């Protein structure tokens, strides 16, 4: 490790000593205490509340009772924050598809929900297309309206807690995730409370929060949602019972009608039969390194008919095709996966088309229960991959994680590189256990800049990665700060070149505490080079 100091923005530094004193009165005689294990069922029965009183202490889920997050838990530099860079009018409010149809190995992901809904955190939803072929929120759906807070869960609902950090910015609406279409906000608490907090939604069920003041706060919510939103059978209704979707631009319609004709899908079928045929076609896509040759509006047609691509390509082409048919549909995505939602005349339903990455790169608590959705009503073609098994693989690959438990097909994908992704989780990775046949990776590290840096500055570094004397090419190397107490703060990642060398810069978080830190570079390794980290050195 290399030792260096992080300075505050101001030139002066102050020491702050926090002390607490607790006085007890004299007791006349000893009192014996018996420890009682927490009883979740009892908490549900007596309607116990979490600290602060706004949330129930426990809710029942299909996987059992889960306890509420602590809304008074202190904010740290390790928190992933949702902030004012993602708003109803920011660059990510529209979605342009790309022609990179190959499959990534691992993608970053953060999930604030308990039970976890990974990889289906609902962060961005688009329900229309513009004349350039970009997906958007339809004009009539862009207006924000209040998201009501209150009510109770019904027997048909699944319940969740959310624990997330928000960087409020005055009156700016900040995008926050939800668990699915039609989710309801039963209760919420914000600490510290900036005052005047509003919860908002648009016509595509995107969620936002804003306040009169600015600052970072912890937002803990209790959510309820009809279980059918996570899948379930579509209602068998006629075309007249479907609400009219946003009109497809004339420039896209000829290509979409050609795709429908080649797929043999039309309004002569029932809506449910037509959607079933579309799902079967778009689940049959496969990743490809032979990237499409078309661009712009023509890219949609090539993707739909060549059946190339990962999750975002499938979802993009599905939505345009469904809209042309008259089926209300949305593309929904987060930083790691994309899928679609379909309206059956009664409710919106999540439909996973598969195609995600091999693994999610996320901090995974093996004690956090996984949400169990209803049975998938649509068939999976041979060798198809669903998002459910992606999470199984991720749990199986994580140190201490559970082994895969689902026999369902698995998923693989990534969100569009042209749109800003949600902030990555800043927690520091630990090297994965090294299989016996993988030689350990030896990492060297050199700091290129000054040893004293201010928060928000770039930390420049270089080095190399080698295993048994051979260069480790194209290897991910994570950069980590280590405090004197051993706390780790992840700064980001760099990649080695073909000769095993790396050079780059990572940014010090603005929320990083002032003090002295060591720098560590670490890698989980790959199929050729095992896990390893840099030698501990002080300068």
Three-state SS letters, 219-284: EEEEEEEEHHHHCCCCCCCCHHHCCCCCCCCCCCHHHHHHHHHHHCCCCCCCHHHHHHHHHHHHCC
- From CA 151, how far away is CA 154, in angstroms rounded? 10
Q: Which residues of 31-60 are buried (b: 16+ CB within 10 A; e: fewer)?
A: eeeeeeeeebeebeeeebebbeebbbbbbe
Query: Helices (DSSP H) in 24-150: which residue ranges?
Result: 40-45
Domain housing 499: 442-533
| Same domain flag for 490 and 345 | no
Residues 376 and 493 in one domain: no
Whether 314 maps to a domain, the answer reads yes
> Do residues 340 and 351 touch, judged by C-beta distance below 8 A?
yes
62 part of a folded domain: no
**Number of other residues whose CB lies within 10 A of the CB of residue 65:** 16
In a domain, 207, yes or no: no
**Is residue 466 located within the same domain as residue 326?**
no
In a domain, 449, yes or no: yes
Helices then strands (H, E): number in the chain? Answer: 6, 30
Question: Residues 6 or more apart from 362 whose CB is under 8 A from it?
Answer: 108, 109, 110, 111, 118, 394, 425
| Structural domain contains residue 184 | no
Q: Which residues of 270-293 are buried (b: 16+ CB within 10 A; e: fewer)?
A: ebbebbbbbbbbbbbbbbbeeebe
Please identify, among 397, 412, 430, the residue that sits at the C-terminal boundary of a domain.
397
d(CA 108, CA 118): 12
Shared domain check, 449 and 386: no
Q: What is the CATH number of the domain that holds 500?
A: 2.60.40.1930
Domain count across the chain: 2
- Please check whether residue 2 lies inside any domain of the structure: no
Closest to 358 (Cα-Cα) out of 107, 526, 528: 107
Q: Is 451 helix (H, G, I), strand (E, B) or coil?
A: coil
The two three-digit tokens of residue 501, written as one number? 């060398």
Residue 346 lies in a domain: yes
Q: For position 223, what pLDDT does the model report?
A: 97
Nearest to 226 by CA among 177, 162, 183, 188: 183
The answer for residues whose C-beta is within 8 angstroms of residue 365's C-beta and 6 or more apart is none
Looking at the fold, whether 132 and 272 belong to one and the same domain comes out as: yes
CB burial readout 355-382, b (16+ within 10 A) else e: bbbbbbbbbbeeeeebbebeebebebee
Give CA–CA dist 361/355, Å, rounded: 16
Choosing from 397, 421, 456, the residue where a domain stops is: 397
DSSP states along 153-217: --TTEEEEEEEEEEEEETTBPEEE-BSSTT-EEEEEEEES--SS-EEEE-TT--EEEE-SSEEEE
What is the structure's pLDDT at 53?
56
Do 463 and 526 fall into the same domain?
Answer: yes
Q: Say whether 464 sits in a helix, a strand or coil.
A: strand
Pairwise CA distance, residues 225 & 148, whole Å: 14
Domain boundary among 377, 397, 417: 397
Q: Are 524 and 497 in contact (CB under 8 A)?
A: no
pLDDT digits (tens, 9 = 90+) for 382-416: 888 898 888 888 877 654 443 333 333 333 333 33
What CA–CA distance (Å, rounded) separates 4 from 446?
12
- Kindly state whether residues 121 and 238 are assigned to the same domain: yes
**For residue 333, what is the enclosing H or E element?**
strand 329-333
Residue 497: predicted pLDDT: 81
Q: Are strands 128-129 and 135-136 parallel, antiparallel or unpaired?
A: antiparallel
Q: How many beta carbons lie within 10 A of that of residue 263, not counting itself? A: 18
Whether residue 265 is found in the same domain as residue 364: yes
* pLDDT (0 to 100) of residue 260: 98
Same domain, 263 and 381: yes
Question: Which residues fall within 8 angstroms of residue 113, CB to CB, at 6 or more apart?
Answer: 121, 160, 161, 162, 177, 179, 223, 371
382 and 503 co-located in one domain:
no
At 97 the pLDDT is 96
Q: What is the mean pLDDT of each run of 10 residues along the chain (539 residues)?
A: 45 27 32 44 48 76 83 84 95 95 90 95 98 96 97 94 95 97 97 93 98 94 96 94 96 97 98 98 96 94 97 98 98 96 97 92 82 93 86 70 34 36 40 58 87 77 90 85 83 80 79 82 84 65
Place of tokens 């109770």: 152
Alpha-carbon gap, residue 303 to 285, rounded angstroms: 9
143 Cβ contact list (under 8 Å, min separation 6) = 202, 203
- b/e map 139-178, b = 16+ CB within 10 Å: eebbebeebebeeebeeebbbbbbbbbbbbbeebbbbbbb
Q: Give the pLDDT score at 530.
A: 87
Domain match, 339 and 447 both? no
Q: Name the nearest CA neighbour of 422 among 117, 176, 55.
A: 176
Q: Give φ, ψ of 464 to 5 degrees.
A: -150, 160
* 186 located within any domain: no
Which residues make beta-bridge pairs with 446? 462
**363 and 267 assigned to the same domain:** yes
């Amino acid at each position: 490790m290399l030792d260096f100091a992080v300075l505050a923005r101001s030139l002066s530094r102050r020491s702050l000593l926090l002390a607490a004193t607790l006085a007890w009165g004299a007791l006349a005689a000893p009192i014996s205490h018996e420890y009682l294990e927490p009883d979740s069922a009892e908490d549900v029965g007596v309607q116990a509340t979490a600290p602060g009183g706004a949330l129930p202490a426990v809710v029942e889920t299909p996987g059992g009772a889960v306890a509420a997050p602590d809304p008074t838990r202190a904010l740290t530099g390790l928190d992933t924050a949702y902030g004012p860079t993602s708003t109803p009018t920011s660059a990510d409010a529209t979605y342009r598809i790309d022609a990179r149809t190959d499959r990534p190995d691992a993608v970053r992901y953060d999930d604030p929900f308990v039970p976890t809904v990974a990889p289906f955190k609902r962060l961005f939803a688009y329900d229309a297309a513009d004349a350039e072929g970009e997906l958007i929120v339809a004009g009539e759906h862009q207006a924000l309206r209040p998201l009501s807070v209150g009510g109770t869960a019904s027997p048909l609902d699944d319940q969740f807690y959310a624990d997330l950090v928000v960087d409020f910015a005055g009156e700016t609406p900040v995008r926050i995730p939800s668990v699915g279409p039609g989710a309801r906000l039963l209760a919420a608490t914000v600490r510290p409370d900036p005052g005047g907090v509003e919860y908002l939604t648009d016509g595509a069920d995107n969620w936002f929060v804003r306040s009169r003041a600015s600052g970072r706060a912890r937002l803990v919510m209790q959510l309820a949602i009809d279980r059918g939103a996570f899948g379930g059978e579509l209602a068998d209704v006629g075309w007249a019972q479907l609400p009219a979707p946003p009109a497809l631009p004339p420039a896209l319609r000829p290509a979409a009608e050609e795709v429908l004709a080649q797929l043999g899908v039309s309004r002569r079928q029932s809506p449910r039969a037509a959607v079933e045929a579309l799902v079967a076609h778009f689940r049959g896509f496969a990743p490809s390194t032979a990237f499409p040759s078309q661009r712009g509006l023509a890219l949609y047609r090539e993707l739909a008919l060549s059946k190339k691509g990962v999750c975002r390509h499938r979802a993009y082409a599905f939505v345009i095709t469904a809209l042309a048919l008259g089926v209300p549909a949305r593309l929904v995505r987060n930083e790691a996966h994309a899928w679609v939602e379909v309206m059956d005349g009664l409710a919106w339903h999540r439909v996973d088309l598969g195609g995600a990455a091999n693994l999610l790169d996320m901090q995974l608590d093996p004690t956090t229960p996984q949400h169990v959705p209803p049975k998938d009503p649509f068939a999976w073609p041979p060798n198809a991959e669903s998002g459910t098994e992606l999470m199984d693989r991720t749990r199986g690959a994580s140190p201490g994680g559970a082994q895969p438990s689902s026999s369902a097909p698995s998923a693989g994908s990534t969100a569009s590189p042209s749109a800003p992704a949600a902030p990555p989780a800043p927690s520091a990775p630990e090297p994965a256990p090294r299989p016996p046949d993988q030689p350990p990776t030896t990492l060297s590290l050199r700091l290129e800049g000054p040893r004293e840096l201010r928060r928000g500055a770039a930390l420049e570094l270089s080095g190399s990665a080698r295993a048994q004397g051979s260069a480790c090419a194209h290897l991910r190397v994570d950069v980590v700060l280590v405090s004197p107490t051993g706390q780790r703060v992840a700064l980001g990642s760099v990649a080695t070149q073909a000769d095993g060398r790396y050079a780059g810069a990572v940014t010090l978080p603005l929320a990083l505490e002032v003090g002295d830190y060591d720098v560590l570079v670490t890698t989980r390794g790959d199929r050729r080079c095992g896990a390893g980290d840099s030698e501990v050195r002080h300068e």
